[in-house]
């Protein structure tokens, strides 16, 4: 139980420091609202636990968070195993999201790139393609930020280097985004 107490203490400390992310969260909400008002869609992606977060966030937007409301257009780019494995095999793993953004994204859309390190080649490449297509970029990362993140509309950088704590904070941030979006619907 010492590990549990240690993890709780680490998370409690991080949550106290998470208010530093408030301006970036506000920018992200404003960006997403702007995209939705213009009938754009949200494309979401990440690796590993961040892939699960991408799926979860897309489900909350399409279905509902806490209120019944109009479905919001959101797609997790992690869900189609045929597309992911074909792109990984035929092009390269670093292109698994970029190629989907090339096919599905347009200038009125936004991407939500979730990466605890902010350095994953496939995340960075996807953001590069999004930028080229004039798609808005929202990044959820750890304190290192997003490599090449100067082009992002909002970088929500959790002030931690520990993957588990960053992922726990990302869950809270994504739920906060859902709540803020729903409150305005």
- As a whole number of angstroms, the distance between CA 133 and CA 126 comes to 11
With pLDDT > 90 as the criterion, what percentage of the chain qualifies?
92
Q: Is residue 150 part of a domain?
A: yes
Q: Which domain holds residue 66?
A: 19-183
Is residue 1 over pLDDT 80? no
Backbone torsions φ then ψ of 30, nearest 5 degrees: -60, -40
Q: Which CATH number goes with the domain that contains 72?
A: 3.40.50.10490
Q: Is residue 49 part of a domain?
A: yes
**How many CB atoms lie under 10 A from the CB of residue 81?**
8
Residue-wise pLDDT for 56-101, tens only, equals 999 999 999 999 999 999 999 999 999 999 999 999 999 999 999 9
Residue 86 belongs to some domain of the structure: yes
pTM of the full structure: 0.94
Q: Which helix (H) or strand (E) is 141 found in, with range? A: strand 136-141
Does any domain span residue 118? yes
* Residue 8 counted as domain residue: no
Q: Is residue 43 part of a domain?
A: yes
In whole angstroms, what is the distance from residue 99 CA to residue 72 CA? 23
Instruction: Assess if residue 174 is contained within a domain.
Output: yes
Residue 13 in any domain: the answer is: no
């Amino acid at each position: 139980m010492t590990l549990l107490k240690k993890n709780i203490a680490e998370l409690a400390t991080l949550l106290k420091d998470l208010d530093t992310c408030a301006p970036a969260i506000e920018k992200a909400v404003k960006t997403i609202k702007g995209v939705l008002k213009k009938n754009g869609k949200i494309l979401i992606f990440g690796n590993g636990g961040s892939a699960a977060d991408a799926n979860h966030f897309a489900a909350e937007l399409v279905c509902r968070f806490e209120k019944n409301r109009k479905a919001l257009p959101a797609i997790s780019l992690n869900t189609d195993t045929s597309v992911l494995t074909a792109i990984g095999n035929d092009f390269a793993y670093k292109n698994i999201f970029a190629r989907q953004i090339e096919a599905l994204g347009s200038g009125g859309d936004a991407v939500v790139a979730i990466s605890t390190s902010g350095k994953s080649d496939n995340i960075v490449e996807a953001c590069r393609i999004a930028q080229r297509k004039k798609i808005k970029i929202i990044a959820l990362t750890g304190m290192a930020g997003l490599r090449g993140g100067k082009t992002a509309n909002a970088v929500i950088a959790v002030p931690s280097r520990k993957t588990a704590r960053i992922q726990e904070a990302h869950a809270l941030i994504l739920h906060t985004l859902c709540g803020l979006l729903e409150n305005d619907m």
